[in-house]
C-alpha cells in the first residue's frame, strides 16, 4: 500500500523532501507500524521519526489508528511554537510583497509571513463587557548564553496549526467561561527583536486573564505544529520541545 506523508522541519531537511511516497509493507497499516517501517527505511532519520507523532487528517493520531490511502498524513516532529524559508519583504507600496496570510473564519487565529501587529491582535479580544486584557509578545532573542542568534526561521503545517490554535481558544472558553483569546503567529524569517507570536486574551476579571494567557502559551508550544530554526553566525539548529519527552496528546494542563 502506497502512502503519501508530508514532512516538516528537521525530518524534511534530513530526507531532502517535504512529501514522501512510501510503500507500506503489510495489509493493515497503523500509525505505530508506519513509524516503525519509516525508521527502518530511513535510519539516518530514525531518532527524529521515533520522537515524532503522526497526524491523520490534521489530527494527532493514537498509535493504533488504522490508515488508508485517502488519509492526509503528516509526520509531526516536536514542535517549538514556531520554521520556514520565506525572506523578509519590502514595505514599499510600489513593490508590494506576495504575503502569505491564513486565518480561521472568525479571524481570531492567524498565520502570516508579514510583520505582526500587537494592536491588531489585541483589538480582536477587546469587548465592552470585559474589564481586563493581557497580551503576550514573543520576539527573537539575540543572545542565549554565549550563542548569538542572527535570525529565526519558522515553518508551519498551516491548516493543522490553525485548527490547533482554534482548539486552544475553545479549551480556554471551557475552562474560563467568557474569556476570549486570539493568536497571531509569524512564519518565515524573523530578525532579532522582531515579533514571532502575539497572544491576546480578555476577560471580565484580571485573574482569569493571567491564567488563560499562560495556558495559551504553554498549549501553543505543546500542540501547534509550528517549528523554529535558529540561524547562528556559524551554523543552525532546529529547536524542538524544550520540556522533556513530547506528547501533544497529553490531557489538557
| pLDDT more than 90, % of the chain | 85
**In which domain, by residue range, is 34 found?**
2-76
pTM score of the predicted model: 0.91
Our CA angle for 152, 156, 159, nearest 5°, is 160
Q: Residue 212 above 60 pLDDT?
A: yes
CATH number of the domain that 32 lies in?
3.10.20.30
Strand-pair partners of 66: 30
Contact (Cβ atoms closer than 8 angstroms) between residue 167 and residue 112: no
Asked if residue 246 is part of any domain, the answer here is no
Q: Rounded to an integer, what distance in angstroms lies between the CA atom of residue 197 and that of residue 141?
A: 13
**Residue bearing the bigger pLDDT, 90 or 167:** 167
End residue of a domain, out of 76, 101, 128: 76
Q: Residue 104 domain-assigned?
A: yes
Cα atoms in the 13 Å half-sphere on the side-chain side of 169: 23
What secondary structure letter does DSSP report for 226? E
Identify whether residues 124 and 186 lie together within a single domain. Answer: yes
What CATH number should be reported for the domain holding residue 151? Answer: 3.90.1170.40
pLDDT for 28-68, tens place per residue? Answer: 999 999 999 999 999 999 999 999 999 999 999 999 999 99
38 and 150 share one domain: no
My answer on whether 68 and 177 are in the same domain is no
**What is the tally of structural domains in the chain?**
2
Is residue 6 domain-resident?
yes
On average, the pLDDT of the chain sits at 91
How confident is residue 243, by pLDDT bands cut at 50, 70 and 90? low
Same domain flag for 116 and 24: no
Which of these three, 76, 111, 138, is where a domain ends?
A: 76
Looking at the predicted structure, is the pLDDT value of residue 91 above 60? no
230 pLDDT above the threshold of 50: yes
Question: Which cell is 127 given?
Answer: 469587548
Amino acid at each position: 500500500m502506497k502512502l503519501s506523508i508530508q514532512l516538516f522541519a528537521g525530518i524534511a531537511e534530513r530526507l531532502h523532501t517535504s512529501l514522501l511516497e512510501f510503500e507500506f509493507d503489510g495489509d493493515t497499516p497503523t500509525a505505530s507500524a508506519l513509524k516503525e517501517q519509516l525508521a527502518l527505511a530511513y535510519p539516518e532519520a530514525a531518532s527524529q521519526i521515533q520522537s515524532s507523532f503522526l497526524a491523520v487528517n490534521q489530527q494527532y493520531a493514537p498509535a493504533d489508528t488504522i490508515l488508508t490511502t485517502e488519509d492526509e498524513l503528516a509526520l509531526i516532529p516536536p514542535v517549538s511554537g514556531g520554521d520556514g524559508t520565506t525572506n523578509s519583504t519590502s514595505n514599499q507600496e510600489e513593490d508590494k510583497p506576495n504575503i502569505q496570510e491564513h486565518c480561521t473564519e472568525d479571524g481570531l487565529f492567524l498565520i502570516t509571513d508579514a510583520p505582526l501587529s500587537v494592536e491588531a491582535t489585541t483589538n480582536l479580544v477587546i469587548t465592552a463587557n470585559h474589564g481586563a486584557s493581557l497580551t503576550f509578545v514573543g520576539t527573537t532573542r539575540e543572545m542565549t548564553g554565549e550563542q548569538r542568534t542572527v535570525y529565526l526561521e519558522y515553518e508551519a503545517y498551516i491548516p493543522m496549526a490553525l485548527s490547533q490554535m482554534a482548539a486552544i481558544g475553545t479549551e480556554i472558553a471551557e475552562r474560563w467561561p467568557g474569556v476570549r483569546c486570539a493568536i497571531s503567529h509569524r512564519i518565515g524569517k524573523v530578525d532579532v527583536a522582531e515579533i514571532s507570536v502575539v497572544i491576546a486574551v480578555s476577560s471580565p476579571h484580571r485573574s482569569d486573564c493571567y491564567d488563560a494567557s499562560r495556558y495559551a502559551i504553554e498549549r501553543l508550544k505543546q500542540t501547534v505544529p509550528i517549528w523554529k530554526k535558529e540561524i547562528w553566525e556559524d551554523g543552525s539548529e532546529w529547536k524542538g520541545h524544550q520540556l522533556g519527552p513530547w506528547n501533544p496528546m497529553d490531557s489538557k494542563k
